[in-house]
């Protein structure tokens, strides 16, 4: 499993922001799958990061979230994106595609509901409204 698959969504997006904001201070390749460098934190802190691309759980960062743990933090992700910028762009592109598809699904659902409501007679519409109001919390209406 790769580094991004092991990271939380929050770490991925914060890491992407850190990468785009230029918070990766240094990064150098130290082996075939190994990199080390420094990443600025949210304040004045600078964290030491060592990535093992082949075995991401062996990667380390001395930030409070990751130090001594096998967590993939935003600093590791930021450095990963600085090494593989196309991965960051892929993540953004996939998120944008998902959001566009979700918007399309919402529009289709709206059209289905609208079609159904307009197909009801006045009495059926009243009956449906009463039914819905009876099954909703009182404070809502």
**Count of Cβ atoms closer than 10 Å to residue 16 Cβ:** 21
Residue with tokens 């743990």: 69
The long-range contacts involving 35-44, CB below 8 angstroms and separated by at least 24 positions, are: 35/79, 35/83, 37/79, 37/82, 39/75, 39/78, 39/79, 41/75
* pTM of the model as a whole: 0.77
Euclidean distance between CA atoms 77 and 38, whole angstroms: 12
pLDDT in tens, 12-59: 999 999 999 999 999 999 999 999 999 999 888 999 999 999 999 999
Task: Report the chain's mean pLDDT, rounded to a whole number.
Answer: 94
pLDDT at 127 over 90: yes
Mean pLDDT, residues 77-84: 98
Per the CB < 8 A criterion, the answer to whether 84 and 19 are in contact is no
């Amino acid at each position: 499993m790769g580094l991004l698959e092991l990271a939380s969504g929050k770490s991925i997006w914060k890491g992407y922001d850190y990468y785009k904001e230029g918070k990766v201070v240094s990064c150098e390749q130290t082996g075939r799958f190994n990199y080390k460098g420094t990443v600025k934190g949210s304040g004045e802190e600078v964290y030491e990061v060592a990535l093992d691309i082949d075995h991401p759980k062996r990667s380390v960062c001395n930030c409070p979230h990751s130090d001594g743990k096998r967590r993939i933090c935003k600093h590791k992700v930021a450095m990963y994106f600085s090494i593989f910028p196309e991965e960051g762009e892929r993540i953004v592109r996939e998120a944008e595609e998902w959001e566009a598809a979700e918007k399309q699904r919402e529009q289709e659902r709206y059209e289905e509901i609208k079609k159904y409501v307009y197909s009801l007679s006045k009495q059926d519409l009243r009956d449906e409204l009463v039914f819905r109001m009876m099954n909703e919390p009182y404070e809502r209406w």
